[in-house]
Structure 1
Amino acid sequence: MTKYTLHTKLQLWATETEYIIEPYGSDDLPMIINRRTGEISMTPLDPTVHKLQTAPMQVYGVMGILKLATTDFLVLITNRKSKGNLLGKEIYLATDYKVLPISSQSTISQILANPAEKQLLALVHSHLFSSTFLFSYDWDITRRMQAQVIAHADDATKAPWQAADLRFFWNYHLSLKLMQQTAFDLGQFIMPVVYGSCDMSWTQINGQRFQFTLISRRSRFRAGTRFFTRGIDADGHVGNYNETEQIVVTENNSKTAFVQTRGSIPLFWTEVTNLRYKPDMQVMDKPETLSALKTHLEEQVALYGSQTLVNLVNSKGHEQQVKEGYEEKVGKVAVPSVQYHHFDFHHECRNMRWDRISILIDQIEPELLEKGFFHVTVAGGVQKWQMGVVRTNCMDNLDRTNVVQGAIAKWSLNKQLQELGILSEGEVVDQHSDFMHLFRNVWADHADYISNAYAGSGALKTDFTRTGKRTRLGLLADGSKSLKRYFKNNYFDGPRQDAFDLFTGTWIPRGPSSAFALFYDPRPLFTRSMPYLLSFAVFMMLAGLTLPRSSDYSLMYYFLFWMSLATAAFAYIRAHGVEYVSWPRLKRLDDVIYYDGPGFRSRPGPKHPDYMDAAKHGRLTSTRPYRIEEVEMGSKKRTD
């Protein structure tokens, strides 16, 4: 670990001119934020502060400072819940937050009077309270165990934020202002936070107790929601990238760890939502595809070692083009130490024959044996290194991926427990029902965490993960979750994506008018009026049922008129579904929605006259007012 010890408890004193963040029960210098200039310093605490009539606020961590439209805001963790103790280090879940305006020139009510600031603050709050943020004061939760051991000597002179894995340092953007301070060392205040999950339990097999832990870490690069962050970007980052680490620790502190990764298919592709249950498939054959894919794979090899790519998408139908595109591009880049395997999950496991996942395990077993797992002995020496990982994907990297990762994890766990002497040679965890109940539920909960973050619902197929069997009740539950995903992904995910972009620094506000796009609707009035027209027509038909009639035909023309109007409005909405989806507004996706370059699209896409004219002349900003406002209001570059 580093020479720094993060402050485990702080208290915030607020005055008209300063925020004073004082280490509780310590003589260390406080961090002081000048509320008039925004400057940060560390000076001895003025004794008169403790005589303030207002009691200090209890704080358990500083997430950082976030710039919004009118002022910067201080984001604090004000409550926590212990997730357990790993290797003598406590891991916490943040459960409550405070977002405080730094400027003292305006009251909070005056700040909220600005509709842009009010909306941005709502995005911040929704992101904080709908996410699972983990942290530890004395264990680097951003890095897998093996990476910590490799970098142990270098870490001795670093602050925790300097040693953190930047991919999983979720509050990196918020911490920038603190990290950039050169006059003062704020290392004890800058606490890396992970967006992920952590489950740990003490259990036993054959009378031997051990701790079973499963940790997931979600990448802040290309972060977002299911349909708005598919595929890869030019820097080689993919959507829904997660690292999962399975750790076993014995009572005498011998430990093993096994890591897997998941991430979106590393091509430029998406599914364009349009209110239909199955969106339009779009694979974009861009000139930078090969370089982005090569960058991604080379980074994975550099970080983890050899890569086994497991692709679970369908060979035919809706998913065929993205499957074939992936295979073609992987073959062309030919990165050393990368092996590709396709397993048509739905075909191989049809008719609920999910035991056939063993076919895939048998297929990749030689590579699993070669990669191994990480093992540290009781004496602290490294017995084994994990030499590579399995990178699994399906379309969403959720449901099929969860099932396969759980099966691979169980295969590895047998090897881990045999290495530790808990299982004998040839013995497997399936022979121990009590432990398998724990194992399955931990992996099912892990699946739900990742699925809720990306798709807005729990994972599908978790009946198999929890019980080892596919059931009809599980199918019904999956139907309910699928409907929930449909409504969330089509009608509610725009603001969720805006919150991701704001919090990770993908979009940065520049001034008081910077959130204009959150309010401005660029659609023609006719298009905007259709849902209201449909609703009114349905209302009038229902109202007609209460009207007096002299015969069965007296209201026929009345109903015919309103039925025709409702049908026309519904047909228009269905034909122009892309116009009624809840799209992100801060960082618009026009280049994806209106893409007209080489590649594949399952049905002709919508045409945006201004956008198509811009693309034709090599410009990707249109002359429409909302495009100009977008450029004015925020930067689209990611801050690394």
Structure 2
Amino acid sequence: MPSVFRGLSVHASPTNYIFRCPSFPDAPSLVVDRPSGNIKMVEHPVLQSKSSMSIAGILGMIRLRLDKYIIVITKSMVVGKIRGHSVYKIQLPSFCHCKSRLYILCFKDHDEDAYLALLRTHLRTGPMYYSYSFDLTNSMQRQSTADHSLPLWQQADDRFFWTNRTLLTCEARHHLSVDSFILPVFFGFLAITTTRIKNTPMIFILITRKSRHRAGTRYFARGVDENGSVANFNETEQILIIGDAGGGLGGYDPESIPSASGLKEQVQVVSYIQTRGSVPAFWAEVSNLHYIPKLAIRGIENAIPYAKKHFDEQIRLHGDNYCVNLVNQNGREEQVKTAYEKIVRTLLTAPSESTQAKILSLLKRRTKEDRIHYIYFDFHHECRNMKWHRAQLLLDQLGEALYSQRYFHASEGGTSVSSTVRNTQTSVIRTNCMDCLDRTNVVQSMLARWTLNRQLIDLAVLEKGENAGSYAHFESLFRNAWADNADVVSRAYTGTGALKTEFTRTGVRTKNGALADLGYSCTRYIKNNFADGPRQDAYDLFLGNYLPYASGISSSWVFVDRRPIFIQSVLYILAASVFLVLFTMIAADSRLTMRLFMLFWTTVGLYSGHFIFTHGMLYVNWPKLNTMVWAIEGYNEALGRVKKDKIVGQLVPRHERGVSSANIRLIHLEEGKKRIE
């Protein structure tokens, strides 16, 4: 029996859903009772419905307010092969409701519809990948020590295992053998391409796995949490396979693949891992409609135990951590730099600082924390005036660390599962900037290129002194893979593609690229202030950080705008003012009354715009399921200032049924802010 059933048929009836694998008709079927949603395994169940629907797999089950829904993959596409295992990208998910349509229609709930809309958008736009027989959540190095006798989902790395957890819970609770129905899915980026350098065909693979812990959007997920998880944490693995029969949608004839010596040899697999993640402190950028939001850092000392948790896990998984910090050393970003350095200094037992290289490290390692090495590189200063080639200076700062960390290298005998590990990666470079996106992407691609050249020379594909960049086809493939990776990671966090990808794709920086980045920056401003609340809610809903059925909130409460009427109306007044002023200008009527009319609405529009940007926190689209404490405090403070305003203060009610308007607006947020794993 395969690790996971490759394709299922679904038989729906008024009493249950039956999931079967047509390729294994004698295998037990997964039966989901309706309307309870209870799961059981049944051998040879009675099919009450002859019609069936084919699906690629099950993403899990989620319980909302009124009903339970089985999330299934109805359409996916093959993106390539890794060591003969097909890899797929999810294209179209669907929801199978457990209760009848009549029940849903009779008990119509707007919140239920909103939850489903959030989930559909999240699953449709979030890039998710899976394989029926290959563990995509683990790196090649971790797979080399894994117990392959375990079911595929038990081998998966929990950090990158995005499949809804309901089936796992049912197995643990009822001891059901549902292994063949649990499909490990990861969220991120994956590119598999067959190529060649000189006469050596190879497969180039780039994988970025986004952690499901503290997942979210740019301004609503920052820093570290009480579990030691940091925001926007991604593990990127660059893999090169030489001697394989094929990895893309096509492939090579294994009999035609020569080795460097002209003799057939084993398959060579090399990989290199890098990580990125938010600065492990308690900090946030508070959205207030200003282009540059307010930076808030709280309790550096209080964050140290949780930063220690984070680095303990990273050291256990990767060995020494070389923390490359790319934030500015001047201006507002200096606060984040100072917080990071204070945390590292505290974790290190006997820190020393090199003024010239700005490196904090230890000569003698006495504790786990002594395996943390801090490297500061002022990217904006060193690469100012679009001299981005100067990022190579970071290689000099890293020095011996790049050589000593090595990379993973295994030789596999043909199609045999057994392999010989020749080399392992002993440390990892953890890169961050403010968002862990744009500057981080440039540096990570540079480090990946340096390591790739080293690997190709070690494998005798290139001679010493040669560079993979000299081969135009491969150079284009490499640059575009890393630029596409940057865009995917950025869209998941900010809603737009990455900045500075022009340099990654072409190796040069131009004014046109700078203008394109300006456009992205403006789009980010709009999305981060006015659209990221629902995106954050979707993350929390899918990952189980918010449970609608356990929220205790009455129907149609969560998504209703309960700000005071005047606060809501100012936006409409501004829109009406702009329309009427433009209409008057187009009419070109020079009469005094029209001039006074235009002057009046211009004044009203200017005041409305000034009011909105002065009290920006009242107009940010905040998450409604798990809102941050500092957002609630900021909202209350902004509303309090409006109430004290001599002009409009009287238009805002002081109290409503004994509760402040701000609390009425955010009561659903406070009730749901506790995250439940």
CA distance in 1, matches of 2:474, 2:586: 63
Greater CA drift, 416-425 or 349-358: 416-425
CA distance in 1, matches of 2:101, 2:587: 60
CA distance in 2, matches of 1:222, 1:569: 37
Alignment of 1:366 with 2:366, yes or no, is: no
Q: 1:167 to 1:608 in 2, by over 3 A?
A: farther
Q: 1:48 to 1:449 in 2, by over 3 A?
A: closer
Alignment of 1:200 with 2:234, yes or no, is: no
CA distance in 2, matches of 1:535, 1:635: 33
Q: Which residue of 1 aligns with 2:568?
A: 528
Q: Is the 8 A contact 1:622 1:628 kept in 2?
A: no
Alignment of 1:45 with 2:44, yes or no, is: yes
Q: Is the 8 A contact 2:564 2:661 kept in 1?
A: no
Q: What are the Cα deviations for residues 574-606 of structure 1, in whole angstroms up to 9, with x where unaligned?
A: 10111111111111123356379xxxxxxx974
Q: Which residue of 2 aligns with 1:143?
A: 138
Q: Which residue of 2 aligns with 1:28?
A: 27
Q: What are the Cα deviations for residues 479-510 of structure 1, in whole angstroms up to 9, with x where unaligned?
A: 11111111111111110110000001111112
Greater CA drift, 225-234 or 622-631: 622-631
Q: Is the 8 A contact 1:594 1:608 kept in 2?
A: no
| SS of residue matched to 1:510 | helix
| SS of residue matched to 1:254 | strand
Q: Which residue of 1 aligns with 2:55?
A: 59
Q: Which residue of 2 aligns with 1:553?
A: 592
Amino acid at match of 1:368: L
| SS of residue matched to 2:162 | coil
Residue ranges of structure 1 left out of the alignment (5+ in a row)? 597-603, 610-620
Q: Which residue of 1 aligns with 2:275?
A: 261
After TM superposition, give the deviation of residue 608 of structure 1 in Å: 6.0
| SS of residue matched to 1:248 | strand
Q: 2:451 aligns with which of 395, 412, 416?
A: 412
Q: Which residue of 2 aligns with 1:475?
A: 514
CA distance in 2, matches of 1:214, 1:433: 19
Alignment of 1:104 with 2:143, yes or no, is: no
Greater CA drift, 281-290 or 294-303: 281-290
Q: Which residue of 2 aligns with 1:311?
A: 325
After TM superposition, give the deviation of residue 287 of structure 1 in Å: 4.9
Q: Is the 8 A contact 2:167 2:178 kept in 1?
A: no
Q: Is the 8 A contact 2:11 2:19 kept in 1?
A: yes
Alignment of 1:228 with 2:224, yes or no, is: no
CA distance in 2, matches of 1:591, 1:173: 30
Amino acid at match of 1:215: I
After TM superposition, give the deviation of residue 218 of structure 1 in Å: 0.4
| SS of residue matched to 1:476 | helix
Q: Which residue of 1 aligns with 2:110?
A: 115
Amino acid at match of 2:38: E
After TM superposition, give the deviation of residue 636 of structure 1 in Å: 2.5
Alignment root-mean-square deviation, CA: 2.4
Q: What are the Cα deviations for residues 391-439 of structure 1, in whole angstroms up to 9, with x where unaligned?
A: 0001111110000000000011011112222112232212222211111
Q: Is the 8 A contact 1:241 1:263 kept in 2?
A: yes
Q: Which residue of 2 aligns with 1:14?
A: 12
After TM superposition, give the deviation of residue 47 of structure 1 in Å: 5.0
Q: Which residue of 2 aligns with 1:399?
A: 438
Alignment of 1:70 with 2:70, yes or no, is: no
After TM superposition, give the deviation of residue 541 of structure 1 in Å: 2.5
Give the TM-score taking structure 2 as reference length: 0.86
| SS of residue matched to 1:381 | strand
CA distance in 2, matches of 1:143, 1:472: 40
CA distance in 1, matches of 2:663, 2:637: 20
Q: What does 1:214-613 correspond to in 2, within 5 Å? A: 214-251=206-243, 252-285=266-299, 287-334=301-348, 335-379=369-413, 380-510=419-549, 513=553, 516-545=556-585, 552-592=591-631, 594=633, 606=638
After TM superposition, give the deviation of residue 8 of structure 1 in Å: 0.5
Q: 1:499 to 1:174 in 2, by over 3 A?
A: farther
| SS of residue matched to 2:534 | helix
CA distance in 1, matches of 2:471, 2:375: 31
Q: Number of residue pairs matched?
A: 611
| SS of residue matched to 2:160 | coil
Q: 1:517 to 1:387 in 2, by over 3 A?
A: farther
After TM superposition, give the deviation of residue 187 of structure 1 in Å: 0.6
Runs of 4+ in 1 over 6 A off after TM superposition: none
Amino acid at match of 1:524: P
CA distance in 2, matches of 1:517, 1:323: 41
Q: Which residue of 1 aligns with 2:205?
A: 213
Q: Which residue of 2 aligns with 1:614?
A: none
Q: What are the Cα deviations for residues 312-352 of structure 1, in whole angstroms up to 9, with x where unaligned?
A: 11111121111111111111121221100111111100111
Percent identity for Structure 1 against Structure 2: 38
Q: 1:317 to 1:64 in 2, by over 3 A?
A: same
CA distance in 1, matches of 2:405, 2:557: 48
After TM superposition, give the deviation of residue 106 of structure 1 in Å: 4.0
After TM superposition, give the deviation of residue 286 of structure 1 in Å: 5.3
After TM superposition, give the deviation of residue 4 of structure 1 in Å: 5.8
After TM superposition, give the deviation of residue 39 of structure 1 in Å: 1.8
Q: 1:20 to 1:562 in 2, by over 3 A?
A: same
Q: 1:328 to 1:208 in 2, by over 3 A?
A: same
Amino acid at match of 2:579: F
Q: Is the 8 A contact 1:65 1:73 kept in 2?
A: yes
Q: Is the 8 A contact 1:593 1:606 kept in 2?
A: no
